[in-house]
Each structure stands twice: as structure tokens, then as C-alpha cells.
Amino acid sequence: MIIINMDDMGYGDTEPYGMTGIPTPNFNKAAKEGMRFTHFNAAQAICSPSRAALLTGCYPNRIGLRGALSPDSKIALDTAEETIASLLKKAGYKTAMLGKWHLGSKAPNLPLHYGFDSFYGLPYSNDMWPVDYEGKPQVAVAGKKSYPELPLLDGDKPAAYVRTPDDQAMLTGTFTRKAVRFIENNKSAPFFLYLAHPMPHVPLAASAAFRGKSELGLFGDVIMELDWSVGEIMKSLDRNKIASNTILIIMSDNGPWLRFGNHAGSSGGFRGGKMTIWDGGTRVPCIIRWPGKVEAGSVNSNLITNMDILPTLLQLSHAAPPEKKIDGISFADLLLGRSDKAPRQVFYYYYNENSLKAVRYKNWKLVLPHTSVSYTSDIHGKDGFPGAATRAEVKMALYDLAHDPGEAYDVQQQYPELVQKMLVFVEEARADMGDDLTGRKGKNLRQPAIVN
């Protein structure tokens, strides 16, 4: 079982999802040989919560995760939480992680303590380093002076440091080669590999082999190198004759960070981006390849979330479920063609610490009053420099995603009975997990780890 998780790659950043100007033959090949999901959502549109949701099968606010954890964050994912890695390890799988972790910056809140046998990668995002937007040692960028050097960890300890843009440019290739080596060394036994690429999160960097190769500048170069990485993984599976016995999942943690302009990706035309509850923030690409089991070239428009990956993999591997409550729902039958019905009908959009901002029911999305980042009020940045991030008040609205995927037309007056039905779902969520926007305390929340 392999999960390749990109960082900030938007819905529209590859050819199977509508990108033009960047050739992505290996994403295309994965889609041709697997199932492409068109309504796959991250649990939250920001790094740490999304990754917590993927690995634990829980809404991140249920387990106390919020925001992008900084190097000196006082919280982390609790080591008592069971993860895909820890559950598969109990079932006899060899487990490894490569790339960006971002659920705690020091032991015991690093991957080795959550079921991974090995880890080589970054503890947090690649922009959390003492370097300015020009790639020079940090002098005057607000909020970055306190960042320590960015370590490359081998297990719990630094093996090297990422100090320059050239160092950043080596990351995709380094993690890919280590991933291929892991596959080759473990081809004869069950394994779970979690490859979490740090890009295309800014600062962007591509190796010499890809620099200047795309029509869309550095961003395109980075996507082309990530496409190469996907290809190397698939070639390794084919070469070692284990493709038909390997579930390969290719996805992203959240939508594009649009304030970075030409260094950000595409939301595929959906509204908003990273850090918002609009579909441009949470709806992300997902392709699942399993030759002989998953229908080649198929497209699935059912509502799926990254929380649903954990129970799906556990069902397929016959591994024991976690002991504590999770929110994920297995879609194994959908994946294998045994059913065409969506196992999930309701999805809650939380953000900030514990603010319920929207709910989805089938193709309907009820947005609740809140304040949000707005990407339409300011000029976006360029060439690695960010634009402003104005906040705007959002009114209650109902959107029909089947007819209005851009969330532009409020139809709550036409469907008052549907609004009332969805407000019942809202009340259920507030009773269960709480809601800061209305001052509700949830009954079923767990605490994160407290970091000293």
C-alpha cells in the first residue's frame, strides 16, 4: 500500500484534472490505469489538520489539531492516536515514511512513534526556515526570524539541513529514490509506504533536470518533477512485478495557496483555495491504481474524504480497526466495483480551532456565517512573493454543486426544506464536536499532545 501525498497541489494542477501547459504523462498513466475521483475532499484546507485526518481517519478538530503547526508549536498529534501505519504494522506490514510530516516537530511526536518503522524527511513545511522570499538568509520578513534551520530528519535526529534553494531542489528526487529503494527492499512482504512530497508548496524548487522545462515557469517545472516521481514509483512496482498486488493512492493535502500567484496552483475553477472552506480549498485530486482490482480508466463522482482512506485500507488488508471513534467510512466496495452508491452523504467543513463553517449533504453545500480569507479582494503575488490576504465576511448560503460547482448562486430561498434538513446535520455536529462560532462545546473531543 502506497500513499503519495502532494503539498498544496490544486485540483487543476495535472492533465487528468484539466491543467494545460504542463505535460503530466505519469499522472495520465495512473488515471488511465486506475480510478479518478472528482469529489474527493481533504478534511481541512491546511497542512497539519489534513495530514492528521488522513493518518487517523478523524476530523482533525476531534483530535485537537488546528492550523499549520510551527516548529515551536505547543501541541502535536497525540501518540495515543492510532494511525494507518500503526494499525497496518500490527497486521504485519513493514511501514515507512518519506517527506513532510507536520504533526509534531520533535520526539516523541515524530513518525517513528506513530507506527512507522523508518522516517526520512522534514518535520514541517519547507517554508518554515530562516530564508527570505528571494532565497537569501532571513533579514526582515515578518514572522520568519524565529524559524530555526530546516532539518532533514533520519528517524528522530537531523541527518542534514535544508539551507538554500538548491537544497530545496534536491528534495523531490531524494525522497523518490529512497521510495524506490524501499519498494525494492520490501517487495517480498506486505508494506505501507507514505511518501509526502513537500511540494508544490512554496518555496518552489526543481532539480536541474527539470528546471526550465515547462511552459508555466518554475511551478510547471515542479509539477513535471512530481510527475516524474509518480512515474518512478509505478515503474518500480511494474519492474518488481508487484503492481497488481499494490494499492497506489495519489492525492494532495489541500488546495492551492493562491496568494502566491504564478507560484501557486490551480483550483480547477472552484471557488477559493487553501485556508478556505470553498471547494477550491478542500476538493483535491485523487487517483487510485490497483491493476486487476480497480477498474482502469474509471471516474468516480461520489463524495469521498481523506478520512475515508484509513478504514478503506484496513478493510482491504483485513487489519483490525482502531479502538477509538473515527469519522472515516470505508469505500472499499465502491473502489472494487461492488457498489455504485456513496458510503458517505455528509461532510462537515471545520476550520480554525473548532469553527463549523459549512456542511455538505450529497450534492448540496450549506455555508454558515463566518469570516474567511478572500482571494478575490487583492492582487496575487508573483515569482515567490505573496500577495495580501484580506479577510471577508461570509453570509449563509446554499449551493447546488451539481449545477453550480463554483459556489456562485445562493439557492436557499428556493429550497427552504433542504436548508432545515441540513441544519439538523449542523446541530448534530455541534453536539458531537462543538463549534467555536456558536460557543458550543462538543461531547466527543480528544486532546492533542502538549509539547513542553
Beta-bridge mates of residue 441: 434
> What letters, b where the CB count within 10 A reaches 16 and e where it falls short, cover 155-164?
eeeeeeebee
The C-alpha cell of 145 is what?
526570524
Please report where in the chains the cell 478538530 appears, as a residue: 61
Catalytic residues, which ones? 47, 102
User: Could you give phi then psi for residue 290, rounded to 5 degrees?
Assistant: -155, 85
3-state secondary structure 103-144: CCCCCCCCHHHHCCCEEEEECCCCCCCCECCCCCECCCCCCC
Beta-bridge mates of residue 346: 361
User: Could you give phi then psi for residue 159, rounded to 5 degrees?
Assistant: -105, -25
DSSP output for 327-373:
-----HHHHTTS--S-S--EEEEEETTTEEEEEEETTEEEEPSEEEE
C-alpha–C-alpha distance, residues 217 and 202, integer Å: 14
Q: Is 195 left (phi over 0), alpha (psi -120 to 50) or beta?
A: beta
C-alpha–C-alpha distance, residues 288 and 38, integer Å: 12
Beta-bridge mates of residue 121: 99, 153
C-alpha–C-alpha distance, residues 1 and 341, integer Å: 24
* Residue from 279, 344, 268 nearest 308 by CA: 344
Cα 13 → chain centroid = 14
Distances from the Cα of 323 to the Cα of 38, 283, 320, 326, 429, angstroms: 31, 29, 9, 9, 21
